[in-house]
Each structure stands twice: as structure tokens, then as C-alpha cells.
Structure 1
Amino acid sequence: KRSMKVIATGFLCLVVVGLPANLTVLLLFCHLRSSRGRLPPNDFILSNLAAVNVVVLLCRGIPQTLVAVGLKHFINDWGCKVVIFAYRMGRAMSICVTALLGCYQSVSVAPSTSHWTILKRWLPAHLPHAIIIFYILNVFICHGAVFYPLAPPINGSIPEYTLNLEFCIVVFPGLEVYMVHGVAYTVRDVAFVGVMVLAAVYMLLVLYRHRQQVKGLQGASQASTGASQAVLLLVCTYVALFGLENMLWGYTLSVSRVLPAVSDVRVFFPCFLQKRNVLIIHLCILCVLHYYIIIISLQKTN
């Protein structure tokens, strides 16, 4: 009972803090979109990130909180299919969109050589296309979430190769399907987090070179240091939490029956990152990077 109270408190805090924060950011971007007619590329990516975070909160945070406070059997089979598929898509898109944001930021701070200039002009117009491609990719990877989720049985018996989410269960037809879906999720996560790390490493290299060029200039060195620290914070947090989640996911794939507590822990930490910190960290990075780029431009002009 005590552990259930701790879990309930944790998920409740995620919902109470994360849902208003992401909705506020999303509504702000909607207002900017309606008043300006279009959003700048960074704002467009962040608005999509806020939207998918809201989906994850609604589809996983709230049901998990209700289960933790003692409610059971409040979703039927079709409701489970909708909720689990929406959660899978939202979580996957959160990782993909974050990686896209890192790539766009690395292109933005890249030197204005001929190749980078072409990419800087080409990329902003094709950001919506990238988002659409990510949706198509993740629908293909997450299609099993449409077929396998069911409402939990009243008698509490859980078959083999089943993910027990407590408010729903995901019953895979056999070991092969169980493993294929698990490996597909892992490969996708590792690939996009890897892209995020590479983009961050490139940004750090660019910021380091700029810092060497502007040594002694007032404000520029501090801005460069702040930007570097923000990038490192984001990447280290992502790698640590999603690394922990994928380790637990690997354990999940190695057993035929998974304890609900393992699923709760596996979901909680990445949710904590997505719902509470990601947008704040990204907005801080953007502010520092923009300030830094302005300083560099002014110094070069002078």
C-alpha cells in the first residue's frame, strides 16, 4: 500500500505539473500562429513537442494515476487500444521531434559555408515533411498497439508474453512477436537518441570554436559557456533516463511475465523528463543560443 501511494503521488505530480505547463506552451504557440500567420522553425518544432507531450500525459499519466489510487477496470478493450496506441505514438514522436530539434539547432549554428547555407535554406521549409515522415514511421512500428491491448481480466490471470500496465494489458500472440516489437522499439529509440547526441556534439564543437574566436569579448564567453552547459544537461539527462528505461525494457523482453512495478518505473522516469523538463530546457537553450549568435554577429560587424 505504501508503494502504491508513492507511485500515485509521483504520477499525480507529473500530471499536475506537466499538463498545465505543456498546455500553456501549446496555447501560446497557437496564439502566435494565429497572430503572425506562421511560426518560426524552432517554435514549430516546439509546438509539436508540446502537443505530443500532452497526448502522453493524457493517455498514460492519468490512467496510471487512477490505477495507483485504487481504481480498476475503468477502460474496455477498445478504449485500451486507443489509449495504448496514442501513448506509443506520443512517446515515439516526442523522441523523434526532440532529435529533429537538435538537428535543426546544429544546422542553425553551423558556419555559413556553401554546403551549410544550402541546408539552412532547405531545412526550414521541409520540417513539416519530416514530422509527417516520423508519424508514418511510428505508425508502422507501433501498429501492434492497435491489435494487442485488452482490458485487464477481472480474475487477475495474466497470460505469458503480456505487458501488464494495470489499467490495460498488451497480450502478444507469442515469443517471436513479443521480441520483434520489443527490438523495434529499442532500435528506434537508440537511433534517434544517437542522432540527438551527434547533433549535440556538433553544437558543442561549434560553440567551442566560437568561444576560442571571441576570447576576451564581453558577454560572448559567458553566453557560449551557458549554451554548452544547457546542451550537455539536455543530452546527459536524455541518455541517462532513456538508457535506464531501455535497460528495464530489455529485462521485460527477457521474461514472459512482467511485474507491474517494473512497467511503472520504466514509464515514470522518461515521463518525468518529457513532461516537466524538456520544454523548459529547450527554451533555455534557444534563448542562450540566440543571445550568443547575436553577440557574435555584432562583434563581426564591428
Structure 2
Amino acid sequence: MGSASLEKGFVFLLETGAGILGNSSLLCLYNFSWLTGHKLKPIDLILNQLVFANNLVLYSKGIPHTMAAFGLKYFLDDVGCKLVFYLHRVARGVSLGTACLLSGFQAIKLYSRTYRWLEHKTRSPKCITFCCSLCWILHLLTNVFIPMQVFGPTNSKNVSAKTHFGYCFSLRSDRLIVLLLGVVLSSFDVICLVLMMWTSGSMVFFLIRHKQRVQHIHSNLFPHRPSHEVRATRIILILVSSFVTFYSLSSISTLYIILTVSPSQWLVDIPVFLDSCFPTFSPFLLIISNIHSSQLVLNFWAKISCKANLVKNL
């Protein structure tokens, strides 16, 4: 194994390991708080699904690609390859849909000060569970063709047109069929991206108007601190903008690989790295910036300390 492959393996290992650590920490906190009777906010349900989908992306794509970068070849059989690629596509789509749901929910919450949006705010928490379940069902059904296009090393000898991922292979279909299939399957992704950009733009416009109104009310002697709602909106705007950037770059690079006759291995690695950027970056932003996540961390350690003291006293 050359030095370039070793460096690439360490990059994937660092990215995947950090992302799994961050998402798993948030996932444990949310579920521990729910199991111990702590009432979670509606937005926490969305964030819980987002970190779970991000973790699944890293498990299904980051770990196998890291192992392949370190020189481990053909460690998955045909069933394993089909399952890994199917779970990655489903998790990637759920992550997109959840980010869109998060952006829309925060926009409704931000605009709820007006009478026209007040009714939508009262109804939105009731629709969160339904929307989350619908997102999973939709992507589980729309990606059923993925196992037909992926196969393990045992069946690779019978196929001439294929793309090598280092541990699995994918069938290369006709370019026209790939483009038509890509347009149909990416329609949902395009709708989600457009909705995210629209809601993000509306929230930015709202924050600008809010800042202008605050400047007329508060003097320079008493600087105004942004409310929790405004700070949460800014965090979600950072999440959405980073998600749109990484997702768009990954989609463009993936389309280029599909249209390329024989893509090189480093070109195949680019979409994998971009797919893992947002799942690795987002949990740490939530842990550092989200006040409610910090409160969950404090409550978690407080309960652990109480139980330790009780055991010691016994």
C-alpha cells in the first residue's frame, strides 16, 4: 500500500470517526432524555432523526471506504454490497428530507409572531411524526432499484461494464437511461433543496428586518442580546447552507463519475468525502451552539452523578 493510500485512509478514518462520535453522542443524549421522562421539544424529534440518518450515512459509506483505503479488499459479499449501498442511499435521502423539514419548521416558528402563521405553528408539532415516517417510507421505496445495480466481487467477473469502488462494483447502464433515471429520482431532492433555499432566504430576510427594528429600540448603552429563537435560527441557517453546499457538490461529482467511461479511484473517492462532510460537521455545531443540547448534556451528567452518589451511600 502506497503512502497516498495510507494518507487517504487516515483522512477517511478521522472524518468518519469524528462524525460517528458526534452523532452517537447526540443520539444517546436525546434517547436517554426521552427514556428518563424528560420532555423533548418538537424540534428535538427532527434533530434526533437527522443525527440518526447522518450516523447511518457514515456507517454505510464511511467505514467501508475507510477499510478499502487502508488496503482491505473484497471484505463484503454480494448481499453485503447491496445492503450497504441501499442503506446509504436511503440514509442520504432521509438526511436531505429531514434538513428540509428542520428548515421549514424553524421558518414557521420564526414567523409565528404574525396571526397568519400562528395556526400553522400550533399544527406543525402534530405533523412532525407523520412527516418523519413519510420520509423514511418514501426513500425506502424509491431506492429499491439500488440492489439491482450493485454486486460483490464474486459476481464481478460476469460483468464487463462496471465501476470499481474498492470493495464493491456497480453496473454501468446506458447513459440515456442513467440520465432519465437520475432526473426522475432527483426530482424529490431538487424540491427539497428549493424549499430549503426558500425558507432559508425568508428567515434571513426576517432576521434583517428584526435587526433593523431592534436598532431603533435599543441604544448603544444597552446592547441587545439576540433571543434564543433568533440564535436557533442562525444555527439552522448554517446547517442548511452547509448541507446544500456539500450535497450539491457531491451530486455534481457523482453525476460526473456516472458519465465518465473509466473514472479513476481518486475521482470515486471525492463524492464519498463530500457525503461525509455534513454528517461529521453538523453534530459538533449543534453541541457547541445549541443551548438545549448543552442543557441535555448537563442533565445527563447530573443524573449520572446522583446515581453514583446513591450507590456510594448504600
TM range (shorter): 0.7 to 0.9
Change (3 A) 1:232 1:109: closer
Partner of 2:265: 260
Match of 1:178 in 2: 178
Superposed displacement of residue 112, structure 1: 2.7
Q: Contact 2:153–2:167 at 8 Å: present in 1 too?
A: yes
Alignment of 1:280 with 2:281, yes or no, is: no
Hey, what does 1:240 align to over in structure 2?
245
Quick one: distance in 1 between partners of 2:289 and 2:204?
A: 12
How far is 1:196 from its partner?
1.4
Structure 1 pair 127/219, CA: closer, same or farther in 2 (3 Å)? farther
Deviation string 1:171-192 (CA, Å, 9 cap, x unpaired) is 2554454333433454333322
Distance of 1:37 and 1:236 partners within structure 2? 31
Unmatched runs of 5 consecutive residues or more in structure 2? 293-314
Aligned to 1:297: none
What displacement does 1:102 show? 0.8
**2:74 equivalent in structure 1:** 73
Task: State the TM-score, normalized to the length of structure 1.
Answer: 0.84
State how far apart, in whole Å, the 2-side matches of 1:86 and 1:12 are.
20
- Aligned residues of 1:211 and 1:220 also touching (Cα < 8 A): no
Q: Which residue is 1:122 aligned to? A: 123
- Cross-structure match for 1:62: 63
Deviations 1:225-277, CA, capped at 9 Å, x for gaps = 96676455434423332222122122123224333322211120231122x21
Aligned in 2, Cα 1:100/1:286: closer, same or farther, shift over 3 Å? farther
Corresponding residue pairs, total: 286
Distance change (3 Å), C-alpha of 1:219 and 1:136: farther
3-state SS, counterpart of residue 36 of structure 1: coil
Counterpart of 2:254?
A: 249
Contact 1:186 1:246 in 2 (8 A): no
Mapped contact 1:11–1:65 kept (Cα < 8 A)? yes
- What is the alpha-carbon distance in structure 1 between the residues aligned to residue 168 and residue 147 of structure 2? 13
Q: Aligned ranges for residues 1-302 of structure 1 at < 5 Å?
A: 1-36=2-37, 38-152=39-153, 159-160=160-161, 162-215=162-215, 216-217=217-218, 218-220=222-224, 230=235, 233-274=238-279, 276-282=280-286, 286-287=290-291
Q: Do the aligned partners of 1:245 and 1:270 also contact (CA within 8 Å) in 2? A: yes
Q: Quick check: 1:152–1:166 contact (8 Å CA) kept in 2?
A: no
CA RMSD of aligned residues (A): 2.7
CA 1:40/1:233 → structure 2, altered by over 3 Å: closer, same or farther?
closer
Higher alpha-carbon Rg: 2
Structure 2 counterpart SS, 1:109? helix
1:70 partner SS: coil
Asked if structure 2 preserves the Cα contact closer than 8 Å seen for 1:248 and 1:266, the reply is yes
Q: State the alpha-carbon separation in 1 of the partners of residues 194 and 285 from structure 2.
A: 19
Indicate the SS of the match to 1:214: helix
Q: Secondary structure of 2:170's partner?
A: strand
Contact 1:45–1:101 (Cα < 8 Å) also in 2: yes
| Structure 1: runs of 5+ lacking an equivalent | 289-302
* Deviation readout 1:197-226 (Å, 9 max, x if unpaired): 111111111212221222153453656996
Distance 1:158 1:144 in 2: 18
In structure 1, what is the Cα distance between the partners aligned to 2:241 and 2:254?
20
**Larger mean Cα displacement after TM superposition, 250-259 or 93-102:** 250-259
Q: Is the 8 A contact 1:214 1:221 kept in 2?
A: no
C-alpha distance in 1 between matches for 2:169 and 2:48: 31
User: How many Å apart are 1:53 and its aligned residue?
Assistant: 1.3
Aligned to 1:298: none
Alpha-carbon offset, residue 282 of structure 1: 4.5
Specify the alignment match of 1:296 in structure 2. none
**CA 1:271 to 1:156, structure 2 compared with 1: closer, same or farther past 3 Å?**
farther
Q: CA offset at residue 88 of structure 1?
A: 0.8
Query: Cα distance, 1:285 vs. partner?
Result: 6.2
How many Å separate the matches in 1 of 2:205 and 2:225? 14
AA at the equivalent of 2:192: F
